[in-house]
Structure 1
């Protein structure tokens, strides 16, 4: 996929999850649905639980737009855990598919992005990106001709 298209996808997903986090902190009804304090109570959770879901959702959304594989992997993995709970909640509560189709779609998307951005070695998650080291200069053509004329290999 072209890099610009992937960057646009990350920004779009980040926007969606920031919007989701903001609506979880919103005290009343939103233009999308009823207040999350009411929804969480209907699902059998305490209403303050929405803050525990909204915080990692918002933080992961910010990490999605940082163009490093490590941060995008951590964001996608965090959102995969959050969305697993979301999908499970929708299944347990027998929510209609019309209301809950976005959660499994985003779960699948985040799973694919987590796999695409996974590190080759898990210890790479704890390492800081290496800074480029100074390279030894290559000899120029003129310099190699001079060495050849002197008899140096």
Structure 2
């Protein structure tokens, strides 16, 4: 097996694990009762000062972004990760403002850093590439030259 295949597989596994984490987060926001993370998110959102139904919006955004992270297209990864940067910035701010204990607040900043790195790594060369068909984007790229002996 080629030595270039393993890093790609590990990276794919990494994105799948992240996607599963956000799918789990989305499911717990839709769950009506207590979760294994503590009380129901309808109660948590009310304690944080948000309307209880806001959990559905956040859960839906997390679910869509998780799907985008799992797709192989670099543009999808950028859109998913950059949207999650916005959501996670709100989560981190909420935890700070509400003086939540560190054990409840560690996940959001950790994932914020990871999503920011992914967004920067998948940043498109031209913002219009996000809206062009994939064939048009790849046809604009210069051909790679094999420089190895």
- Provide the TM-score with structure 1 as the length reference: 0.84
Whether 1:14 and 2:11 are equivalent positions in the alignment is no
Q: CA deviation at 1:31?
A: 1.9
Larger Rg: 1
Structure 2 gap segments, 5+ residues each: 1-5, 140-149
Whether 1:96 and 2:90 are equivalent positions in the alignment is no
Task: Provide the residue aligned with 1:110 in structure 2.
Answer: 115
Whether 1:71 and 2:76 are equivalent positions in the alignment is yes
Aligned residues: 133
Runs of 4+ in 1 over 2 A off after TM superposition: none
Structure 1 gap segments, 5+ residues each: 134-153
Q: CA deviation at 1:96?
A: 1.1
Q: CA RMSD in A?
A: 1.4
Task: Provide the residue aligned with 1:149 in structure 2.
Answer: none
- Provide the TM-score with structure 2 as the length reference: 0.86
Q: CA deviation at 1:99?
A: 1.0
SS at match of 1:2: helix
Deviation sequence 1:82-106 (CA, Å, 0-9, x none): 1000000000001111111000000
